[in-house]
Amino acid sequence: GGGCPKLNVQAAFAVPGQLLVDRVEMPDGTEFLTVARTVDGPQAAFHERVRRTAILIGCEATFANEIVYGAAAVMPAIATGPACRLCERQGCLARAEPPITRPLGLDEMATGLSVFDFQ
């Protein structure tokens, strides 16, 4: 699967060419400053669709004051993970797949926030 749906690289396609800066927190508590934007590739002919790629770069949040984009990420960190299959966060509304590290909680009498509840 792909990366976490909460990462700003997914939202970059909605605003092509603009920089998106976020502060994110991984499941282990480490915080990162991330910068994402789209880059347009070559267009072979007028009638062809533009080939657009999103790029995400990041560094530990402790270095945010040394980066020009660090001032834009003063908001609280967004709880993310590397990818749904590797993330063990409980109750994530953006979860697209269950984690491979935990068994699914298949209790038809209980409901949770996520489609994929696990133990």
> Is 82 in contact with 26 (CB distance < 8 Å)?
yes
**Higher local confidence (pLDDT), 96 or 26:** 26
Domain layout of the chain by residue ranges: 8-83
| pLDDT > 80? residue 116 | no
* Mean pLDDT score, 84-91: 82
* pTM: predicted TM-score of the whole model, two decimal places: 0.76
What confidence score (pLDDT) does residue 2 get?
73
Q: How far is C-alpha 57 from the chain's CA centre?
A: 11
CA–CA separation, 90 and 119 (whole Å): 9
Residue 29, classed as helix, strand or coil, is coil
Strands (DSSP E) found in the chain:
20-25, 31-40, 52-60, 78-79
| pLDDT > 60? residue 119 | no
* Residue position matching structure tokens 């590290």: 101
Average pLDDT of the chain to the nearest whole number: 83
What confidence score (pLDDT) does residue 23 get?
93
